[in-house]
């Protein structure tokens, strides 16, 4: 029997209930919840191996979060053309969604008795801040403590980079999503394709984590401690499963390894990747990296000089002082010494380093070193123009000229950054009735995603001493520090538009006017 060549197979249109809905927010949130469920599953396995009581609870939490997340991810897709507002909304929504579901293991296992404390711990984890309200830390099961470490590892760079690497489209949308996570003077595009760029950063992140965990294990940590601390070192998070933090191990070798790892994690991952590809001079040529090392060294030198003057020199004091200042300057937050007892001048330097953070493209929070250099160069240009009004001068970052559009963004970011920090400091002091040192340092460490501060939130304290409203302010500040100011504000635009469309005309105009200026 011959088939008619002119006949074409009839295409049957799939029922609409099988169609994937176009929503980048739902797609990224679904993927984030899926990865969060996998993290809870890993924590349940650790708990099962340890023989703890929370293995079944953690497994149930993993299923309750991971299965709906996978279904949402599978039934949605990003649209072919994405607006910047929708991309920023996806970034912000994924962090908020992960933080909300991240409280489930804490509440289900009875680690925290109320939602407020569980939410604070979850957001502090996913933003890699490391501030804690868990008391005592060692009273929690190993599975829960491993979940804390996983939240920081995912928050460091994992969730957003994974989301970029699996988005079924290329172009500006994926790169914008990545730039929101690792902002810098440029998009740090290692290769033309966004997906390939994300894969390379994932490989570097995984490889770095593996190296740090291996070194920790070789020099005395148990496999559990090595992996947990590698997660929180690479992410510059600082959560430790011990009340004494890194001082629990009392090992000079481990402390030096951690110092090197924290400095590495505070550097640009794109820069490290280029160095691994045979371009080591990219590190030396980076003005931001040189300034980054200079700031870390300066803070360590000043703190060490004052400590030696007070206590005399010893190798242990020198090493632990360098460890403590490096931990704060890279926004990691491990504690080894009670730096709350250091002199007031050193405290001011520590507060500065807390809010500054590391390099652009790293896992640190804060203002970032490149922005500091750009602001200083901008100030120098303005002074030069006062002396030579007709001269044409530019803003430089090392030997590179920074375009005026980047300078404008940096200066605008600086204004928002300082305004948010100042307002938050006032609110913390007003709502908690605490002293100025505690208020200033708690905000500086929150916006820098550091963890411990000074005063009532010092290295030997936790955040239970602050009132709940004050902790709520710090939670918002943590998000600004982790996701940067503009992505958070722009991420609110779609939600404000949605709200404005359902308000009376005059109220809608007032809402939209806030964003239009």
Q: What is the pLDDT of residues 59-97, one digit of tens each?
A: 999 999 999 999 999 999 877 776 777 777 888 888 899
Whole-number pLDDT of residue 175 = 37
Residue 464 belongs to a domain = no
Whole-number pLDDT of residue 128 = 92
Does the structure show a pLDDT above 50 at 465? yes
Whole-number pLDDT of residue 494 = 74
Please report, for residues 163, 262, 384, the alpha-carbon distance to residue 199 in angstroms, rounded to integers and kept in the order given: 11, 22, 44
Does the structure show a pLDDT above 50 at 173? no
Q: Work out the average pLDDT over 353-379.
A: 88
Query: How far is 126 from 335, CA to CA, in rounded Å?
Result: 19
Q: Work out the average pLDDT over 212-236.
A: 96
Query: How far is 452 from 156, CA to CA, in rounded Å?
Result: 18
pLDDT band at residue 176 under the 50/70/90 scheme: very low
Whole-number pLDDT of residue 10 = 53
Q: Which domain holds residue 203?
A: 19-356
Query: How far is 502 from 471, CA to CA, in rounded Å?
Result: 31
Does the structure show a pLDDT above 70 at 515? no
CA-based nearest residue to 260, from 293, 288, 302: 293
Please report, for residues 172, 253, 271, 365, 372, the alpha-carbon distance to residue 200 in angstroms, rounded to integers and kept in the order given: 18, 30, 12, 22, 28
DSSP character string of 133-164:
--SSGGGS-HHHHHHHHHHHHIIIIIHHHHHH
Q: Work out the average pLDDT over 396-418.
A: 82
pLDDT band at residue 15 under the 50/70/90 scheme: low
Q: Parallel, antiparallel, or unpaired for β 21-22 and 395-397?
A: unpaired
For all residues of the chain together, what is the average pLDDT? 84
Whole-number pLDDT of residue 158 = 60
Q: Which letter, b or e, does each residue of 16-25 get, where b requires 16 or more Cβ atoms within 10 Å of its Cβ?
A: eeeeeeebbb
pLDDT band at residue 279 under the 50/70/90 scheme: confident
Does the structure show a pLDDT above 50 at 513? yes
Percent of the chain topping pLDDT 90: 55
Query: How far is 222 from 224, CA to CA, in rounded Å?
Result: 5
The conformation of residue 280, written as its DSSP 8-state character, comes to T
- Dihedral sign, Cα of residue 214, residue 216, residue 217, residue 222: negative
Q: What is the tens place of the pLDDT at every residue in 45-64?
A: 999 999 999 999 999 999 99
Does the structure show a pLDDT above 50 at 126? yes
Q: Which residues contact 151 (CB under 8 A, 6 or more apart)?
A: 39, 98, 102, 122, 125, 126, 239
- For the chain, the 3-state helix, strand and coil shares in percent, each to the nearest 5, are 70, 0, 30
Q: Parallel, antiparallel, or unpaired for β 400-402 and 395-397?
A: antiparallel
Residue 256 belongs to a domain = yes
pLDDT band at residue 510 under the 50/70/90 scheme: low
Does the structure show a pLDDT above 90 at 491? no
Residue 217 belongs to a domain = yes
Whole-number pLDDT of residue 321 = 96
* Total number of domains constituting the chain: 1
Q: Work out the average pLDDT over 267-274.
A: 85
- The pTM of the full predicted model, rounded to 2 decimals, is 0.88
Does the structure show a pLDDT above 80 at 35? yes
Torsion angle in degrees (nearest 10) through CA of 160, 166, 171, 172: -20
Q: Are the C-beta atoms of 134 and 121 separated by less than 8 Å? A: yes
Q: Work out the average pLDDT over 92-113.
A: 93
Does the structure show a pLDDT above 80 at 304? yes
H, E, C per residue of 58-105: HHHHHHHHHHHHHHHHHHEECCCCCCHHHHHHHHHHHHHHHHHHCHHH
DSSP SS3 for 21: strand
Residue 471 belongs to a domain = no
Residue 489 belongs to a domain = no
pLDDT band at residue 182 under the 50/70/90 scheme: very low
Query: How far is 496 from 515, CA to CA, in rounded Å?
Result: 9
Query: How far is 26 from 31, CA to CA, in rounded Å?
Result: 9
Residue 182 belongs to a domain = yes
Least confident of 39-43, 146-150, 334-338, 378-382: 378-382
Residue 108 belongs to a domain = yes
Q: Parallel, antiparallel, or unpaired for β 395-397 and 76-77?
A: unpaired
Whole-number pLDDT of residue 78 = 77
* HSE-CB of 451 using CA atoms within 13 angstroms: 30
Residue 195 belongs to a domain = yes
Query: How far is 122 from 128, CA to CA, in rounded Å?
Result: 10
pLDDT band at residue 333 under the 50/70/90 scheme: very high
Q: Are the C-beta atoms of 180 and 160 separated by less than 8 Å? A: yes
Q: Are the C-beta atoms of 466 and 472 separated by less than 8 Å? A: no
Whole-number pLDDT of residue 406 = 78
136 preceded by a cis bond (ω within 30 of 0)? yes
And the tokens for 450? 């550091």
Vertex 153, ends 97 and 245: CA angle to 5°? 115
């Amino acid at each position: 029997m011959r088939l008619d060549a002119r006949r074409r197979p009839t295409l049957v249109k799939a029922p609409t209930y099988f169609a994937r809905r176009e929503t980048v927010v739902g797609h990224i949130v679904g993927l984030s919840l899926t990865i969060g469920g996998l993290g809870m599953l890993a924590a349940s396995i650790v708990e099962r191996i340890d023989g703890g009581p929370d293995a079944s609870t953690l497994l149930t939490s993993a299923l309750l979060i991971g299965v709906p997340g996978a279904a949402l991810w599978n039934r949605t897709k990003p649209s072919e053309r994405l607006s910047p507002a929708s991309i920023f909304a996806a970034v912000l929504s994924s962090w908020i969604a992960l933080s909300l579901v991240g409280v489930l293991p804490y509440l289900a296992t009875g680690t925290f008795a109320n939602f407020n404390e569980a939410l604070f711990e979850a957001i502090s984890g996913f933003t890699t801040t490391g501030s804690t309200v868990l008391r005592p830390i060692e009273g929690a099961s190993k599975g829960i403590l491993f979940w804390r470490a996983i939240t920081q590892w995912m928050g460091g760079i994992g969730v957003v980079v994974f989301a970029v690497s699996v988005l079924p489209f290329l172009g500006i949308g994926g790169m914008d999503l990545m730039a929101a996570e690792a902002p810098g003077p440029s998009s740090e595009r290692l290769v033309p394709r966004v997906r390939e760029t994300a894969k390379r950063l994932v490989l570097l992140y995984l490889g770095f984590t593996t190296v740090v965990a291996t070194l920790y294990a070789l020099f005395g940590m148990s496999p559990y401690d090595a992996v947990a601390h590698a997660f929180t070192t690479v992410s510059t998070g600082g959560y430790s499963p011990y009340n004494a933090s890194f001082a629990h191990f009392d090992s000079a070798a481990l402390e030096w390894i951690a110092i090197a790892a924290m400095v590495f994690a505070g550097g640009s991952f794109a820069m490290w990747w280029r160095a691994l590809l045979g371009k080591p001079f990219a590190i030396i040529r980076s003005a931001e990296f040189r300034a980054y090392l200079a700031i870390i060294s300066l803070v360590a030198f000043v703190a060490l000089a004052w400590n030696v003057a007070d206590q005399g020199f010893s190798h242990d004091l020198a090493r632990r002082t360098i460890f403590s200042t490096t931990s704060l300057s890279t926004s990691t937050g491990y504690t080894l010494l009670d730096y709350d007892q250091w002199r007031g001048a050193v405290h001011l330097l520590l507060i500065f380093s807390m809010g500054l953070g590391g390099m652009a493209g790293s896992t640190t929070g804060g203002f970032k070193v490149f922005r500091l250099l750009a602001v200083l160069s901008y100030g120098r240009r303005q002074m030069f123009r006062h002396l030579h009004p007709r001269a044409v001068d530019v803003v430089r970052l090392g030997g590179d000229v920074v375009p005026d559009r980047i300078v404008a963004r940096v200066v605008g970011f600086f204004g928002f950054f300082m305004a948010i920090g100042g307002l938050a400091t006032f609110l913390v002091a007003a709502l908690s009735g605490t002293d100025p040192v505690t208020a200033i340092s708690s905000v500086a460490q929150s916006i820098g995603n550091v963890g411990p501060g000074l005063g009532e939130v010092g290295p030997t304290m936790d955040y239970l001493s602050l009132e709940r409203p004050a902790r709520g302010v710090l939670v918002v500040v943590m998000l600004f520090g982790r996701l940067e100011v503009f992505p958070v504000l722009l991420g609110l635009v779609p939600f404000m538009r949605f709200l404005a469309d359902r308000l009376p005309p005059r109220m809608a105009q007032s809402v939209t006017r806030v964003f239009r200026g």
